[in-house]
Chains A and B, each alone.
Chain A
Amino acid sequence: MSTMQIPAKVPLDDYTSVIGAGEVAELRTLARPLAGRSVVMINSTAVGGGVAEILNRLVPLAEELGINIRWEVMTGGEDFFEVTKAFHNALHGAPYHPEPRHFEIFRAYNEKNARRLPLDAEFMVIHDPQPAGLISYREKNANHWVWRCHIDLSHPHPAVWNFLENYVPNYDAAIFSSPEFAKQLPIPQYLFHPAIDPLSEKNRDLPPEFILDVLARYGIDHLRPILTQISRFDRLKDPVGVIRAYRIVRRYFDCQLVLAGGGASDDPEGATVLKEAQHAAEDDPDIKLLELPAWAPLEVNALQRASTIVIQKSLREGFGLTVSEALWKKKPVVASAVGGIPTQIIHKHTGLLAHSIEGTAYQIRFLLSHPDIAARLGERGHEHVKENFLITQNLKRYLTLFLKMGKSS
């Protein structure tokens, strides 16, 4: 178990230019009764993935507000992470063949970590299934324990969920990213939307020359419409479906398609999906399949900002924060009505939803024909993110939770 040292702190006051002085003052007001009180956040990875990305910003902001907060990362062997990866996929509904030793490995690593970790903070926030078993080592009624589940539990593999049910009801509360991801549980369940950081490299403003430079590097013409989907090369993101939608649009508009994402070099299935996309692209020079490194925030930012329309044609989705990233950049978005996407895309208000390849193509054509409507959707999308999906909102939700739980004790 290691305590995370967070290198670059962004002062809360820097967010004033984004959300306004009133909102920052409100965070300080809400945090006042929590000053000096202890919080420990525990997850299973220090880098990579949305949870680490959020904690990297959330923890220093809470610290600046006077909360005695620590972020701990669980340690485990390869065997543990193999098991928890299988659990993760199974909870998303993937096929899984449970073996008793898998559950034993899970229990053993949770016990090992429990011995090293300080579990006595007033508020313990445990992220995702990997450290969920730590609740077994809680001193009875000594503090508040919350399980923050970032994954979609609507169709979990029964064996894995039955196993987790040994732990989850022992928490004081659970947090989910969407009401439909939640389960029937005997404890209160709260809704926290995932969040983006407007000041991170992936989302902050960029100089126009940098954006043009990125386009030039990838051979993208900035003078013609650019349709972009940023996603891993994963079948559930349906890159081939996006190419088919683009081909329909191409009958009417001279446009380009950019499919950019990682996952092809370190994931055998990703490589296969990339090949399928290459095959579907048929050497069309206006289709750019860009395999980005796992962490290329500035390039992703530039591609999103350069786009005329951003697409997220997923077949299944967790929350789909790439949608919020695009909306934050005031981009019109055409996306599938799956997972957390309809929470971000309020149809005809903050973007357009589609249910098929043809529907996706139709909505893209509509927006290319009506740039004024596209611009208005982008503006409202930006406001939606500002109000609901920024890291400062996430911080506010945690402060509110701690105030409520602390008061109830």
Chain B
Amino acid sequence: MNVAETPFEFFTVAYLTRIGNQSAGNLEELLTGLEHCSDASIFHHTYQTLSSHHFLTEGFSNDFAQWALAEANRDALAEQFAALDIRDYTSIAALRTDLCRVLRDFITAFPQFSRQEALDRFYFCESLEVTMPFSLTASNLDEFRDGVATISHASFHFHFVTSRLRLQFRTNDFSHWLAGSLGLDSLAETINHIDIYTNTLDSARAKMLRLVDRERRKHEHDANPS
């Protein structure tokens, strides 16, 4: 079994939600908010909300889509917001640009809805992050498997989803390490394709563990072909 020179270090993460001073009662105000809110706010309403609502695997994508659907009653806009996949982004700036574009296009197409009052306001919040090492490292595939099976939801989300913003690549910490440190490119790629929108964090983790187990069995078989 391959041993990595650089072990994988598991981190845990906790977020404090800060209530912002901005809120929006209609689409025009939402656009102003989206243009001016902090990066931590965009992160909160997209990446972080996916973690705290990971158990919703049908039709929940981000807070903007949910608000457009449930409060502003604009299904088509909700669909457009929901179609933005955070895995396609390696920066908050790019995600913000697309969120604003979607909303601006909708307002241009349907100006009559831009100032229509929503049932409830959208309150912009921010996620303030605290990260800490979990005192858990992995140097080979067995230890990696044990670590992934042990960590919390927040830790799994941190390494599997928000990692794109840190790495600035369209991949995750797990795949990055499996390919870079253990040379398991194919496993890394398959893991990177697990869909976080149609899986809960638990089912995504279970799928990943199954893939890792399959790889371990392959290694065992290669080592003892008889």
Name A's B-contacting residues (CB within 8 A). 20-23, 25-26, 29-30, 32-33, 176, 179-180, 182, 184, 188-191, 337, 342, 346-347, 349-350, 380, 383-384, 387-388, 396-397, 399-401, 403-404
Residues A26 and B154 in contact, CB atoms below 8 Å apart: yes
Instruction: Indicate if B82 sits at the interface (CB-CB under 8 A).
Output: no
Instruction: Indicate if B152 sits at the interface (CB-CB under 8 A).
Output: yes
Residues B120 and A179 in contact, CB atoms below 8 Å apart: no
Residues B52 and A387 in contact, CB atoms below 8 Å apart: yes
Interface residues in B22-66 (C-beta closer than 8 Å to A): 23, 52-56, 58-60, 66
Instruction: Provide the residues of chain B in CB contact with A21, threshold 8 Å.
Output: 150
Interface residues in B1-40 (C-beta closer than 8 Å to A): 12, 14-19, 21, 23
Residue of chain A at shortest CB distance from B136: A25
Residue of chain B at shortest CB distance from A383: B55
Instruction: Indicate if B153 sits at the interface (CB-CB under 8 A).
Output: yes
Instruction: Indicate if B175 sits at the interface (CB-CB under 8 A).
Output: no
Interface residues in B121-167 (C-beta closer than 8 Å to A): 121, 123, 125, 128, 130, 132-135, 150-155
CB-contact partner of B12 in A26, A188, A380, A401, under 8 A = A26
Residues B52 and A191 in contact, CB atoms below 8 Å apart: no
Residue of A33, A179, A383 with most partner-chain B CB within 10 A? A179
* A387–B15 alpha-carbon span in the complex (Å): 13
State how many angstroms separate the Cβ of B18 from the closest Cβ of chain A.
Answer: 6
Instruction: Provide the residues of chain A in CB contact with B133, threshold 8 Å.
Output: 29
| CB within 8 Å for A349 and B119 given contacts A22-B150, A191-B17 | no
* A346–B56 alpha-carbon span in the complex (Å): 10
Residues A404 and B153 in contact, CB atoms below 8 Å apart: no
Instruction: Indicate if B70 sits at the interface (CB-CB under 8 A).
Output: yes
* A25–B58 alpha-carbon span in the complex (Å): 30
CB-contact partner of A22 in B53, B54, B66, B155, under 8 A = B155
Residue of B12, B21, B155 with most partner-chain A CB within 10 A? B12
State how many angstroms separate the Cβ of B14 from the closest Cβ of chain A.
Answer: 4
Q: 1/0 per position for B86-101, CB-CB distance to A under 8 A?
A: 0000000000000000
Residues B14 and A396 in contact, CB atoms below 8 Å apart: yes
Residue of chain B at shortest CB distance from A173: B18
* A363–B219 alpha-carbon span in the complex (Å): 55
CB-contact partner of A342 in B14, B15, B120, under 8 A = B120
| CB within 8 Å for A380 and B56 given contacts A179-B123, A189-B18 | yes
Residues B152 and A26 in contact, CB atoms below 8 Å apart: yes
Residues B123 and A180 in contact, CB atoms below 8 Å apart: yes
Instruction: Provide the residues of chain A in CB contact with B155, threshold 8 Å.
Output: 22, 26
Residues B150 and A404 in contact, CB atoms below 8 Å apart: no
Residues B60 and A349 in contact, CB atoms below 8 Å apart: yes
Residues A404 and B70 in contact, CB atoms below 8 Å apart: no
Residue of chain A at shortest CB distance from B60: A349
Residues A179 and B21 in contact, CB atoms below 8 Å apart: no
State how many angstroms separate the Cβ of A134 from the closest Cβ of chain B.
Answer: 23
CB-contact partner of A29 in B52, B56, B58, B132, under 8 A = B132
Residues A384 and B17 in contact, CB atoms below 8 Å apart: no
Instruction: Provide the residues of chain A in CB contact with B21, threshold 8 Å.
Output: 184
Instruction: Provide the residues of chain B in CB contact with A346, threshold 8 Å.
Output: 53, 56, 60, 66, 70
Residue of chain B at shortest CB distance from A23: B152
Instruction: Provide the residues of chain A in CB contact with B59, threshold 8 Å.
Output: 349
Residue of B121, B133, B152, B153 with most partner-chain A CB within 10 A? B152
Which 5 residue pairs spanning A and B have beta carbons closest together?
Answer: A179-B123, A383-B55, A22-B152, A191-B17, A26-B152
State how many angstroms separate the Cβ of A398 from the closest Cβ of chain B.
Answer: 10
5 new A-B contacts at CB < 8 Å, known A22-B150, A403-B130: A22-B153, A25-B150, A180-B123, A191-B17, A349-B56
Residues B120 and A337 in contact, CB atoms below 8 Å apart: yes
Instruction: Provide the residues of chain B in CB contact with A397, threshold 8 Å.
Output: 14, 16
